[in-house]
Structure 1
Amino acid sequence: MTSLRERLTAPGLIVAPGVFDMISAKIADGMGFDALYMTGYGTVASHLGLPDAGLASYTDMVTRVRTLAGGTATPLIADGDTGYGGLLNVDFTVKGYEAAGAAAIQLEDQEFPKKCGHTPGRRVIPMADMVKKIKVAVQARESDDFLIVARTDARTAHGLDEALRRAEAYAEAGADVLFVESPETVEEMRRICATIDKPLLANMVEGGRTPILSKAELEELGYKIAIFPGTGFLAAGAALRRTYETIRRDGSSQAIAGDLYSFTEFSKLMGFERVWAFDAEHAD
Protein backbone atom coordinates (compact mmCIF):
# COMPACT_ATOMS: atom_id res chain seq x y z
CA MET A 1 0.00 0.00 0.00
CA THR A 2 1.20 3.53 -0.79
CA SER A 3 2.28 5.38 2.34
CA LEU A 4 0.82 8.76 3.15
CA ARG A 5 4.27 10.32 2.65
CA GLU A 6 4.46 8.82 -0.83
CA ARG A 7 0.96 10.06 -1.59
CA LEU A 8 2.05 13.60 -0.66
CA THR A 9 4.43 13.61 -3.63
CA ALA A 10 1.79 12.41 -6.13
CA PRO A 11 -0.46 14.81 -8.04
CA GLY A 12 -3.87 15.78 -6.74
CA LEU A 13 -5.60 16.68 -3.50
CA ILE A 14 -5.72 14.15 -0.66
CA VAL A 15 -9.31 14.18 0.62
CA ALA A 16 -9.75 12.80 4.14
CA PRO A 17 -13.22 12.42 5.68
CA GLY A 18 -13.57 12.76 9.42
CA VAL A 19 -14.10 9.48 11.27
CA PHE A 20 -15.11 9.34 14.91
CA ASP A 21 -16.03 5.73 15.72
CA MET A 22 -15.66 2.32 14.13
CA ILE A 23 -18.93 2.56 12.20
CA SER A 24 -17.88 5.76 10.45
CA ALA A 25 -14.33 4.42 10.00
CA LYS A 26 -15.41 1.11 8.45
CA ILE A 27 -17.80 2.82 6.05
CA ALA A 28 -15.15 5.33 4.92
CA ASP A 29 -12.41 2.70 4.80
CA GLY A 30 -14.08 0.83 1.97
CA MET A 31 -14.70 3.84 -0.25
CA GLY A 32 -11.26 4.45 -1.74
CA PHE A 33 -10.08 7.52 0.18
CA ASP A 34 -6.33 8.22 0.34
CA ALA A 35 -6.56 8.97 4.07
CA LEU A 36 -8.98 9.14 6.97
CA TYR A 37 -8.93 11.86 9.64
CA MET A 38 -9.58 10.98 13.27
CA THR A 39 -11.39 14.10 14.39
CA GLY A 40 -10.77 15.12 17.99
CA TYR A 41 -14.15 16.85 18.24
CA GLY A 42 -16.06 13.84 16.92
CA THR A 43 -14.03 11.25 18.79
CA VAL A 44 -14.40 13.00 22.15
CA ALA A 45 -18.12 13.56 21.48
CA SER A 46 -18.81 9.95 20.46
CA HIS A 47 -16.54 8.29 23.03
CA LEU A 48 -17.15 10.51 26.07
CA GLY A 49 -20.10 12.76 25.19
CA LEU A 50 -17.99 15.81 26.07
CA PRO A 51 -16.87 18.97 24.23
CA ASP A 52 -13.49 19.09 22.51
CA ALA A 53 -11.99 21.32 25.19
CA GLY A 54 -9.00 19.42 26.54
CA LEU A 55 -11.14 17.08 28.64
CA ALA A 56 -10.01 13.86 26.95
CA SER A 57 -6.68 12.44 28.10
CA TYR A 58 -3.83 10.94 26.12
CA THR A 59 -4.99 7.51 27.28
CA ASP A 60 -8.52 8.16 26.00
CA MET A 61 -7.26 9.24 22.61
CA VAL A 62 -4.45 6.76 21.96
CA THR A 63 -6.93 3.98 22.70
CA ARG A 64 -9.22 5.36 20.01
CA VAL A 65 -6.28 5.67 17.58
CA ARG A 66 -5.42 2.01 18.16
CA THR A 67 -9.02 0.93 17.59
CA LEU A 68 -9.55 3.04 14.46
CA ALA A 69 -6.18 2.28 12.87
CA GLY A 70 -6.38 -1.40 13.77
CA GLY A 71 -9.80 -1.78 12.19
CA THR A 72 -9.05 -0.01 8.90
CA ALA A 73 -6.57 -0.22 6.04
CA THR A 74 -6.58 3.44 4.93
CA PRO A 75 -3.82 5.68 6.38
CA LEU A 76 -5.11 7.51 9.46
CA ILE A 77 -4.25 11.12 10.30
CA ALA A 78 -4.92 11.41 14.05
CA ASP A 79 -5.60 14.53 16.08
CA GLY A 80 -3.06 14.71 18.91
CA ASP A 81 -4.22 18.07 20.34
CA THR A 82 -1.32 19.83 22.10
CA GLY A 83 0.59 16.61 22.72
CA TYR A 84 -1.19 16.46 26.11
CA GLY A 85 1.37 18.51 28.00
CA GLY A 86 5.01 19.53 27.78
CA LEU A 87 7.94 18.19 25.78
CA LEU A 88 8.09 14.81 27.50
CA ASN A 89 4.36 14.40 26.90
CA VAL A 90 4.86 15.19 23.20
CA ASP A 91 7.60 12.56 22.98
CA PHE A 92 5.36 9.99 24.65
CA THR A 93 2.34 10.94 22.52
CA VAL A 94 4.16 10.70 19.20
CA LYS A 95 5.62 7.32 20.09
CA GLY A 96 2.22 6.13 21.28
CA TYR A 97 0.28 7.28 18.23
CA GLU A 98 2.84 5.77 15.87
CA ALA A 99 2.82 2.45 17.73
CA ALA A 100 -0.99 2.51 17.70
CA GLY A 101 -0.95 2.51 13.90
CA ALA A 102 -1.57 6.11 12.87
CA ALA A 103 0.10 7.37 9.69
CA ALA A 104 0.32 10.97 10.95
CA ILE A 105 -0.22 12.99 14.10
CA GLN A 106 -1.58 16.54 14.22
CA LEU A 107 -0.11 18.76 16.95
CA GLU A 108 -1.27 22.30 17.65
CA ASP A 109 0.16 25.38 19.35
CA GLN A 110 -2.74 26.09 21.69
CA GLU A 111 -2.41 26.47 25.42
CA PHE A 112 -3.66 23.52 27.45
CA PRO A 113 -6.57 22.90 27.82
CA LYS A 114 -7.16 23.35 24.10
CA LYS A 115 -10.43 24.20 22.33
CA CYS A 116 -11.92 23.20 19.00
CA GLY A 117 -10.33 25.26 16.22
CA HIS A 118 -13.45 27.03 15.00
CA THR A 119 -14.69 28.05 18.45
CA PRO A 120 -13.82 31.29 20.30
CA GLY A 121 -11.40 31.80 23.17
CA ARG A 122 -8.37 29.93 21.81
CA ARG A 123 -4.99 30.97 23.21
CA VAL A 124 -1.60 29.98 21.81
CA ILE A 125 1.68 29.21 23.51
CA PRO A 126 4.87 31.15 22.59
CA MET A 127 6.12 30.24 19.12
CA ALA A 128 9.49 29.12 20.49
CA ASP A 129 7.78 26.61 22.76
CA MET A 130 5.90 25.06 19.84
CA VAL A 131 9.10 24.93 17.77
CA LYS A 132 10.60 22.81 20.55
CA LYS A 133 7.54 20.56 20.49
CA ILE A 134 7.88 20.01 16.74
CA LYS A 135 11.58 19.19 17.07
CA VAL A 136 10.82 16.70 19.85
CA ALA A 137 8.04 15.15 17.74
CA VAL A 138 10.37 14.69 14.76
CA GLN A 139 13.02 13.07 16.98
CA ALA A 140 10.47 10.82 18.72
CA ARG A 141 9.11 9.02 15.67
CA GLU A 142 10.53 5.66 14.68
CA SER A 143 9.91 6.02 10.94
CA ASP A 144 10.11 8.99 8.62
CA ASP A 145 6.89 7.69 7.05
CA PHE A 146 5.07 8.80 10.21
CA LEU A 147 4.13 12.39 9.43
CA ILE A 148 4.09 15.39 11.77
CA VAL A 149 1.27 17.82 10.99
CA ALA A 150 1.88 21.17 12.73
CA ARG A 151 -1.16 23.35 13.31
CA THR A 152 -1.24 26.97 14.40
CA ASP A 153 -4.34 28.55 15.91
CA ALA A 154 -2.84 32.05 15.94
CA ARG A 155 -4.98 33.48 13.11
CA THR A 156 -8.13 34.16 15.13
CA ALA A 157 -6.55 36.00 18.07
CA HIS A 158 -3.33 37.38 16.53
CA GLY A 159 -3.97 37.77 12.81
CA LEU A 160 -2.76 36.05 9.67
CA ASP A 161 0.75 37.58 9.72
CA GLU A 162 1.48 35.93 13.07
CA ALA A 163 -0.05 32.64 11.91
CA LEU A 164 2.19 32.64 8.83
CA ARG A 165 5.26 33.51 10.87
CA ARG A 166 4.54 30.52 13.10
CA ALA A 167 3.82 28.17 10.21
CA GLU A 168 7.16 29.03 8.61
CA ALA A 169 8.95 28.41 11.93
CA TYR A 170 7.21 25.05 12.35
CA ALA A 171 8.21 24.07 8.81
CA GLU A 172 11.81 25.01 9.62
CA ALA A 173 11.58 22.86 12.78
CA GLY A 174 10.80 19.81 10.65
CA ALA A 175 7.02 19.52 10.35
CA ASP A 176 5.98 17.56 7.27
CA VAL A 177 2.57 19.23 6.77
CA LEU A 178 1.47 22.72 7.83
CA PHE A 179 -2.03 23.50 9.04
CA VAL A 180 -2.94 27.18 9.42
CA GLU A 181 -6.26 26.92 11.21
CA SER A 182 -9.37 28.99 10.44
CA PRO A 183 -8.43 31.46 7.69
CA GLU A 184 -11.55 33.52 7.07
CA THR A 185 -11.47 34.33 3.34
CA VAL A 186 -10.34 32.77 0.08
CA GLU A 187 -7.73 35.51 -0.20
CA GLU A 188 -6.28 34.51 3.17
CA MET A 189 -6.15 30.90 1.98
CA ARG A 190 -4.41 32.01 -1.21
CA ARG A 191 -1.82 33.95 0.80
CA ILE A 192 -1.14 30.93 3.03
CA CYS A 193 -0.48 28.75 -0.01
CA ALA A 194 1.73 31.40 -1.62
CA THR A 195 3.82 31.79 1.56
CA ILE A 196 4.42 28.27 2.84
CA ASP A 197 6.63 25.98 0.76
CA LYS A 198 5.52 22.67 2.28
CA PRO A 199 2.36 20.55 1.95
CA LEU A 200 -0.60 22.43 3.36
CA LEU A 201 -3.79 21.17 4.98
CA ALA A 202 -7.19 22.84 4.60
CA ASN A 203 -9.80 22.30 7.31
CA MET A 204 -13.31 22.22 5.81
CA VAL A 205 -15.72 22.74 8.72
CA GLU A 206 -19.34 23.32 7.76
CA GLY A 207 -20.55 26.30 9.79
CA GLY A 208 -16.98 27.25 10.74
CA ARG A 209 -14.84 30.29 9.96
CA THR A 210 -13.24 29.06 6.72
CA PRO A 211 -15.01 29.06 3.32
CA ILE A 212 -15.98 25.59 2.07
CA LEU A 213 -14.38 25.24 -1.36
CA SER A 214 -14.52 22.64 -4.12
CA LYS A 215 -11.72 20.16 -4.73
CA ALA A 216 -10.69 22.07 -7.86
CA GLU A 217 -10.57 25.37 -5.95
CA LEU A 218 -8.44 23.90 -3.16
CA GLU A 219 -6.04 22.39 -5.69
CA GLU A 220 -5.83 25.69 -7.58
CA LEU A 221 -4.94 27.52 -4.37
CA GLY A 222 -2.20 24.99 -3.63
CA TYR A 223 -3.53 22.83 -0.80
CA LYS A 224 -2.39 19.21 -0.64
CA ILE A 225 -4.76 17.78 1.98
CA ALA A 226 -8.38 18.63 2.75
CA ILE A 227 -9.97 17.23 5.91
CA PHE A 228 -13.71 17.20 6.57
CA PRO A 229 -13.72 16.55 10.33
CA GLY A 230 -17.33 17.38 11.16
CA THR A 231 -19.23 16.36 8.05
CA GLY A 232 -19.72 12.74 9.10
CA PHE A 233 -20.92 13.32 12.63
CA LEU A 234 -23.10 16.26 11.56
CA ALA A 235 -24.72 14.03 8.92
CA ALA A 236 -25.13 11.19 11.40
CA GLY A 237 -26.61 13.52 14.01
CA ALA A 238 -29.14 14.91 11.54
CA ALA A 239 -30.12 11.43 10.36
CA LEU A 240 -30.47 10.10 13.90
CA ARG A 241 -32.59 13.06 14.97
CA ARG A 242 -34.97 12.57 12.02
CA THR A 243 -35.13 8.84 12.68
CA TYR A 244 -35.74 9.10 16.40
CA GLU A 245 -38.34 11.84 15.87
CA THR A 246 -40.22 9.48 13.55
CA ILE A 247 -40.09 6.65 16.10
CA ARG A 248 -41.23 8.97 18.89
CA ARG A 249 -44.06 10.40 16.77
CA ASP A 250 -45.29 7.14 15.24
CA GLY A 251 -44.17 4.56 17.75
CA SER A 252 -42.85 2.68 14.70
CA SER A 253 -40.03 2.73 12.14
CA GLN A 254 -42.26 1.72 9.22
CA ALA A 255 -42.24 5.19 7.61
CA ILE A 256 -38.43 5.27 7.35
CA ALA A 257 -37.65 1.62 6.64
CA GLY A 258 -36.59 2.45 3.08
CA ASP A 259 -34.08 5.06 4.26
CA LEU A 260 -32.10 2.71 6.47
CA TYR A 261 -28.83 0.88 5.82
CA SER A 262 -29.57 -2.75 4.95
CA PHE A 263 -29.27 -4.81 8.13
CA THR A 264 -27.62 -7.66 6.20
CA GLU A 265 -25.09 -5.34 4.55
CA PHE A 266 -24.38 -3.61 7.85
CA SER A 267 -23.76 -6.98 9.48
CA LYS A 268 -21.28 -7.80 6.70
CA LEU A 269 -19.59 -4.43 7.24
CA MET A 270 -19.07 -5.33 10.90
CA GLY A 271 -17.49 -8.67 9.98
CA PHE A 272 -20.32 -11.10 10.63
CA GLU A 273 -19.56 -13.06 7.46
CA ARG A 274 -16.48 -14.50 9.17
CA VAL A 275 -18.58 -15.36 12.24
CA TRP A 276 -21.13 -17.16 10.07
CA ALA A 277 -18.40 -19.05 8.21
CA PHE A 278 -16.65 -19.98 11.45
CA ASP A 279 -19.87 -21.26 13.01
CA ALA A 280 -20.61 -23.31 9.89
CA GLU A 281 -17.10 -24.80 9.86
CA HIS A 282 -17.26 -25.81 13.53
CA ALA A 283 -20.89 -26.83 13.74
CA ASP A 284 -21.57 -30.23 15.29
Structure 2
Amino acid sequence: MVNVSSRRTLKALVDARRGVIVPGAFNALSARVIEDLGYEAIYVTGAGVTNMHFGMPDQGFMGLADIADHTARIRDAVSLPLIVDADTGFGNALNVAHTVRTLERAGADCIQFEDQVAPKRCGHFSGKDVISTEEAVSKIRAAVDARHDPSLLILARTDAAATHGFEAAIERAQQFAEAGADILFVEAVTKPEEVRALPSRLSKPQLMNMVIGGKTPIFSANQLGELGYGIVLYANAALQGAVLGMQKALTTLRDEKQLFESGGLVAPFAERQRLVGKPAWDELERRYA
Protein backbone atom coordinates (compact mmCIF):
# COMPACT_ATOMS: atom_id res chain seq x y z
CA MET A 1 0.00 0.00 0.00
CA VAL A 2 1.58 3.27 -1.12
CA ASN A 3 1.20 6.00 1.48
CA VAL A 4 2.81 9.19 0.24
CA SER A 5 1.67 11.10 3.34
CA SER A 6 3.52 8.76 5.72
CA ARG A 7 6.65 9.12 3.59
CA ARG A 8 6.42 12.89 3.78
CA THR A 9 5.80 12.67 7.52
CA LEU A 10 8.92 10.55 7.94
CA LYS A 11 11.03 12.96 5.89
CA ALA A 12 9.85 15.85 8.06
CA LEU A 13 10.71 13.90 11.23
CA VAL A 14 14.18 13.09 9.95
CA ASP A 15 14.86 16.58 8.65
CA ALA A 16 13.91 18.10 12.03
CA ARG A 17 17.01 16.41 13.54
CA ARG A 18 15.49 16.36 17.00
CA GLY A 19 16.36 12.78 17.89
CA VAL A 20 12.98 11.14 17.35
CA ILE A 21 12.91 7.71 19.00
CA VAL A 22 12.00 4.92 16.56
CA PRO A 23 11.41 1.50 18.17
CA GLY A 24 11.67 -1.72 16.21
CA ALA A 25 8.70 -4.00 15.53
CA PHE A 26 9.10 -7.71 14.86
CA ASN A 27 5.45 -8.39 13.94
CA ALA A 28 2.12 -6.63 13.52
CA LEU A 29 1.13 -6.76 17.20
CA SER A 30 4.40 -5.23 18.37
CA ALA A 31 3.85 -2.49 15.77
CA ARG A 32 0.35 -1.89 17.19
CA VAL A 33 1.83 -1.51 20.68
CA ILE A 34 4.39 1.01 19.41
CA GLU A 35 1.72 3.06 17.64
CA ASP A 36 -0.64 2.84 20.62
CA LEU A 37 2.03 4.26 22.92
CA GLY A 38 2.38 7.39 20.80
CA TYR A 39 5.65 6.84 18.95
CA GLU A 40 6.00 8.63 15.62
CA ALA A 41 7.58 5.96 13.39
CA ILE A 42 8.41 2.25 13.38
CA TYR A 43 11.49 0.28 12.32
CA VAL A 44 10.76 -3.16 10.87
CA THR A 45 13.74 -5.01 12.32
CA GLY A 46 15.49 -7.80 10.45
CA ALA A 47 17.14 -9.01 13.64
CA GLY A 48 13.76 -9.08 15.37
CA VAL A 49 12.10 -11.01 12.55
CA THR A 50 14.99 -13.49 12.52
CA ASN A 51 15.06 -13.92 16.31
CA MET A 52 11.32 -14.06 16.94
CA HIS A 53 10.12 -16.00 13.91
CA PHE A 54 13.02 -18.33 13.18
CA GLY A 55 14.57 -18.54 16.66
CA MET A 56 17.92 -17.85 14.99
CA PRO A 57 20.64 -15.19 15.39
CA ASP A 58 20.95 -12.15 13.14
CA GLN A 59 23.46 -13.69 10.73
CA GLY A 60 21.86 -13.41 7.30
CA PHE A 61 19.14 -16.04 7.60
CA MET A 62 16.28 -13.69 6.67
CA GLY A 63 15.35 -13.40 2.99
CA LEU A 64 13.51 -10.79 0.94
CA ALA A 65 10.23 -12.70 1.04
CA ASP A 66 10.38 -12.84 4.84
CA ILE A 67 10.87 -9.11 5.37
CA ALA A 68 8.40 -8.21 2.60
CA ASP A 69 5.71 -10.36 4.20
CA HIS A 70 6.27 -8.82 7.62
CA THR A 71 6.32 -5.33 6.14
CA ALA A 72 2.99 -5.88 4.39
CA ARG A 73 1.37 -7.25 7.54
CA ILE A 74 2.69 -4.37 9.66
CA ARG A 75 1.65 -1.83 7.02
CA ASP A 76 -1.88 -3.21 7.18
CA ALA A 77 -1.92 -2.96 10.98
CA VAL A 78 -0.60 0.59 11.56
CA SER A 79 -0.52 3.98 9.87
CA LEU A 80 2.85 5.19 11.18
CA PRO A 81 5.82 5.60 8.81
CA LEU A 82 7.81 2.39 8.36
CA ILE A 83 11.60 2.15 8.06
CA VAL A 84 12.38 -1.34 6.75
CA ASP A 85 15.63 -3.21 7.33
CA ALA A 86 16.67 -4.81 4.02
CA ASP A 87 20.07 -6.07 5.19
CA THR A 88 22.50 -6.08 2.24
CA GLY A 89 19.72 -5.98 -0.35
CA PHE A 90 19.94 -9.77 -0.73
CA GLY A 91 22.59 -9.75 -3.46
CA ASN A 92 24.18 -7.39 -5.94
CA ALA A 93 22.94 -4.06 -7.32
CA LEU A 94 20.29 -5.80 -9.44
CA ASN A 95 18.97 -7.60 -6.38
CA VAL A 96 18.91 -4.28 -4.54
CA ALA A 97 16.73 -2.79 -7.29
CA HIS A 98 14.35 -5.75 -7.00
CA THR A 99 14.31 -5.37 -3.21
CA VAL A 100 13.33 -1.71 -3.49
CA ARG A 101 10.49 -2.51 -5.87
CA THR A 102 9.26 -5.34 -3.63
CA LEU A 103 9.39 -3.42 -0.34
CA GLU A 104 7.94 -0.28 -1.90
CA ARG A 105 4.90 -2.31 -2.96
CA ALA A 106 4.72 -3.83 0.53
CA GLY A 107 4.37 -0.37 2.10
CA ALA A 108 7.85 0.70 3.19
CA ASP A 109 8.40 4.44 3.61
CA CYS A 110 12.16 4.09 3.98
CA ILE A 111 14.42 1.15 3.12
CA GLN A 112 17.77 0.53 4.82
CA PHE A 113 20.72 -1.06 3.03
CA GLU A 114 24.11 -1.93 4.52
CA ASP A 115 27.57 -2.60 3.08
CA GLN A 116 28.48 -5.87 4.77
CA VAL A 117 29.72 -8.94 2.95
CA ALA A 118 26.92 -11.51 2.66
CA PRO A 119 25.87 -13.31 4.74
CA LYS A 120 25.66 -10.26 6.97
CA ARG A 121 25.57 -10.33 10.75
CA CYS A 122 24.32 -8.05 13.51
CA GLY A 123 26.28 -4.82 13.51
CA HIS A 124 27.27 -5.41 17.14
CA PHE A 125 28.69 -8.91 16.54
CA SER A 126 32.36 -9.56 15.98
CA GLY A 127 33.65 -10.92 12.69
CA LYS A 128 32.05 -8.44 10.30
CA ASP A 129 33.48 -7.54 6.91
CA VAL A 130 32.39 -5.04 4.26
CA ILE A 131 32.32 -5.04 0.48
CA SER A 132 34.39 -2.56 -1.54
CA THR A 133 33.41 1.09 -1.45
CA GLU A 134 32.77 1.00 -5.21
CA GLU A 135 30.33 -1.90 -4.97
CA ALA A 136 28.61 -0.41 -1.93
CA VAL A 137 28.10 2.92 -3.68
CA SER A 138 26.75 1.20 -6.79
CA LYS A 139 24.17 -0.60 -4.67
CA ILE A 140 22.98 2.66 -3.13
CA ARG A 141 22.73 4.20 -6.60
CA ALA A 142 20.68 1.20 -7.72
CA ALA A 143 18.35 1.62 -4.74
CA VAL A 144 17.85 5.32 -5.45
CA ASP A 145 17.17 4.68 -9.14
CA ALA A 146 14.75 1.78 -8.54
CA ARG A 147 12.13 3.58 -6.47
CA HIS A 148 8.89 4.47 -8.24
CA ASP A 149 7.92 7.11 -5.71
CA PRO A 150 10.64 9.75 -5.23
CA SER A 151 9.34 10.34 -1.69
CA LEU A 152 10.45 6.82 -0.68
CA LEU A 153 13.57 7.33 1.44
CA ILE A 154 16.82 5.36 1.14
CA LEU A 155 18.81 4.84 4.35
CA ALA A 156 22.44 3.87 3.77
CA ARG A 157 24.29 2.08 6.57
CA THR A 158 28.00 1.40 6.76
CA ASP A 159 29.67 -1.11 9.05
CA ALA A 160 33.14 -0.01 7.95
CA ALA A 161 34.07 1.48 11.33
CA ALA A 162 34.67 -2.00 12.75
CA THR A 163 37.01 -3.09 9.95
CA HIS A 164 38.49 0.06 8.39
CA GLY A 165 38.15 2.61 11.19
CA PHE A 166 36.03 5.64 11.99
CA GLU A 167 37.44 7.95 9.32
CA ALA A 168 36.93 5.36 6.59
CA ALA A 169 33.32 4.91 7.71
CA ILE A 170 32.71 8.65 7.45
CA GLU A 171 34.23 8.68 3.96
CA ARG A 172 31.94 5.83 2.87
CA ALA A 173 28.89 7.52 4.33
CA GLN A 174 29.73 10.70 2.44
CA GLN A 175 29.95 8.74 -0.81
CA PHE A 176 26.57 7.17 -0.04
CA ALA A 177 25.15 10.67 0.36
CA GLU A 178 26.61 11.68 -2.99
CA ALA A 179 25.02 8.58 -4.53
CA GLY A 180 21.61 9.83 -3.42
CA ALA A 181 21.01 8.30 0.03
CA ASP A 182 18.54 10.36 2.06
CA ILE A 183 19.65 9.22 5.55
CA LEU A 184 23.05 8.01 6.75
CA PHE A 185 23.79 5.40 9.41
CA VAL A 186 27.33 4.78 10.68
CA GLU A 187 26.86 1.58 12.67
CA ALA A 188 28.55 0.38 15.86
CA VAL A 189 30.81 3.30 16.70
CA THR A 190 32.40 2.55 20.04
CA LYS A 191 33.51 5.88 21.54
CA PRO A 192 31.42 8.74 22.93
CA GLU A 193 33.47 11.26 20.96
CA GLU A 194 32.60 9.45 17.73
CA VAL A 195 28.90 9.67 18.52
CA ARG A 196 29.31 13.38 19.18
CA ALA A 197 31.34 14.00 16.03
CA LEU A 198 29.17 12.41 13.35
CA PRO A 199 26.49 15.10 12.98
CA SER A 200 29.13 17.76 12.33
CA ARG A 201 31.07 15.55 9.89
CA LEU A 202 28.19 14.57 7.58
CA SER A 203 25.62 16.94 6.14
CA LYS A 204 22.75 14.50 5.51
CA PRO A 205 20.38 13.55 8.35
CA GLN A 206 21.62 10.61 10.38
CA LEU A 207 20.39 7.67 12.44
CA MET A 208 22.13 6.57 15.63
CA ASN A 209 21.52 3.01 16.78
CA MET A 210 21.19 2.49 20.54
CA VAL A 211 21.68 -1.25 20.99
CA ILE A 212 20.96 -2.28 24.57
CA GLY A 213 24.03 -4.30 25.54
CA GLY A 214 25.81 -3.44 22.27
CA LYS A 215 29.11 -1.77 21.37
CA THR A 216 27.93 1.86 21.12
CA PRO A 217 27.78 3.94 24.33
CA ILE A 218 24.20 4.82 25.28
CA PHE A 219 23.12 8.44 24.94
CA SER A 220 19.62 9.70 25.73
CA ALA A 221 17.39 10.72 22.84
CA ASN A 222 17.49 14.29 24.16
CA GLN A 223 21.28 14.29 24.00
CA LEU A 224 21.28 12.85 20.50
CA GLY A 225 18.67 15.34 19.36
CA GLU A 226 20.79 18.19 20.69
CA LEU A 227 23.72 16.79 18.70
CA GLY A 228 21.56 16.87 15.56
CA TYR A 229 20.60 13.24 14.92
CA GLY A 230 17.37 12.74 13.02
CA ILE A 231 16.55 9.26 14.33
CA VAL A 232 17.42 7.44 17.55
CA LEU A 233 16.87 3.77 16.81
CA TYR A 234 15.95 1.22 19.48
CA ALA A 235 15.60 -1.66 17.04
CA ASN A 236 15.08 -4.45 19.55
CA ALA A 237 13.93 -2.85 22.79
CA ALA A 238 10.44 -4.32 22.26
CA LEU A 239 11.91 -7.73 21.47
CA GLN A 240 14.15 -7.76 24.54
CA GLY A 241 11.26 -6.57 26.69
CA ALA A 242 8.99 -9.27 25.27
CA VAL A 243 11.55 -12.00 25.94
CA LEU A 244 11.98 -10.87 29.55
CA GLY A 245 8.21 -10.64 30.00
CA MET A 246 7.72 -14.17 28.67
CA GLN A 247 10.46 -15.50 30.90
CA LYS A 248 8.99 -13.87 34.00
CA ALA A 249 5.41 -14.97 33.32
CA LEU A 250 6.30 -18.52 32.35
CA THR A 251 8.71 -18.96 35.26
CA THR A 252 5.92 -17.97 37.64
CA LEU A 253 3.50 -20.35 35.89
CA ARG A 254 6.02 -23.19 36.09
CA ASP A 255 6.75 -22.63 39.77
CA GLU A 256 3.33 -21.60 41.10
CA LYS A 257 1.15 -23.59 38.64
CA GLN A 258 -1.17 -20.63 37.95
CA LEU A 259 -1.27 -17.03 36.71
CA PHE A 260 -3.74 -14.21 37.30
CA GLU A 261 -4.36 -10.90 35.55
CA SER A 262 -3.85 -9.14 38.86
CA GLY A 263 -0.32 -10.51 39.24
CA GLY A 264 1.25 -7.85 37.01
CA LEU A 265 2.95 -10.39 34.75
CA VAL A 266 0.50 -10.56 31.84
CA ALA A 267 -1.57 -8.04 29.90
CA PRO A 268 -5.27 -8.27 30.78
CA PHE A 269 -7.46 -10.26 28.38
CA ALA A 270 -9.43 -7.12 27.50
CA GLU A 271 -6.27 -5.15 26.72
CA ARG A 272 -5.13 -7.84 24.31
CA GLN A 273 -8.46 -7.68 22.49
CA ARG A 274 -8.29 -3.88 22.33
CA LEU A 275 -4.83 -3.94 20.76
CA VAL A 276 -5.88 -6.34 18.02
CA GLY A 277 -8.97 -4.26 17.21
CA LYS A 278 -11.70 -6.65 18.32
CA PRO A 279 -14.30 -3.89 18.93
CA ALA A 280 -13.99 -2.77 15.29
CA TRP A 281 -14.37 -6.33 14.05
CA ASP A 282 -17.40 -6.78 16.30
CA GLU A 283 -18.95 -3.70 14.72
CA LEU A 284 -18.33 -5.06 11.24
CA GLU A 285 -19.91 -8.35 12.23
CA ARG A 286 -23.05 -6.50 13.39
CA ARG A 287 -23.12 -4.46 10.18
CA TYR A 288 -23.00 -7.47 7.90
CA ALA A 289 -25.09 -9.85 10.00
TM-score by length of 1: 0.95
For 1:228, give the aligned amino acid. Y
Structure 2 unaligned spans of 5+: none
* Distance in 2 separating the partners of 1:282 and 1:200: 48
Question: How many matched pairs?
Answer: 283
* Distance in 1 separating the partners of 2:60 and 2:270: 39
For 1:136, give the aligned amino acid. A
- CA distance 1:192–1:282, change in 2 (3 Å): closer
Post-superposition offset of 1:161: 1.1
Post-superposition offset of 1:260: 2.3
For 2:213, give the aligned amino acid. G
For 1:14, give the aligned amino acid. V
- 1:10 maps to which of 16, 34, 41: 16
Number of the residue aligned with 1:143: 149
Number of the residue aligned with 1:170: 176
Matched, 1:103 2:109: yes
Number of the residue aligned with 1:264: 270
Number of the residue aligned with 2:159: 153
Pairing 1:230-245 to 2, within 5 Å after superposition = 230-245=236-251
Post-superposition offset of 1:210: 0.5
Number of the residue aligned with 1:48: 54
Q: Does the aligned pair in 1 maintain the 2:68–2:102 contact within 8 Å?
A: yes
Pairing 1:84-95 to 2, within 5 Å after superposition = 84-95=90-101
Once the two structures are overlaid, the 10-residue window that deviates more, 261-270 or 148-157, is 261-270
Any idea what the Cα deviations from partners look like across 1:19-50, whole Å, max 9, x if unmatched?
11112111111222221111111111112222
- 1:195 maps to which of 193, 201, 219: 201
Pairing 1:197-276 to 2, within 5 Å after superposition = 197-254=203-260, 257-276=263-282
Number of the residue aligned with 2:132: 126
Structure 1 unaligned spans of 5+: none
Q: Does the aligned pair in 2 maintain the 1:35–1:74 contact within 8 Å?
A: yes
Any idea what the Cα deviations from partners look like across 1:46-81, whole Å, max 9, x if unmatched?
122221111111111111111112211000101000
Q: Which has the higher contact order (CA 8 A, sep 6+)?
A: 2
Post-superposition offset of 1:9: 2.9
- CA distance 1:94–1:257, change in 2 (3 Å): same
- 2:75 maps to which of 69, 82, 90: 69
* Distance in 1 separating the partners of 2:249 and 2:199: 42
Residue identity over aligned pairs, in percent, reads 38
Post-superposition offset of 1:194: 1.6
RMSD: 1.5
Runs of 4+ in 1 over 6 A off after TM superposition: none
SS of 2:233 mapped into structure 1 = strand
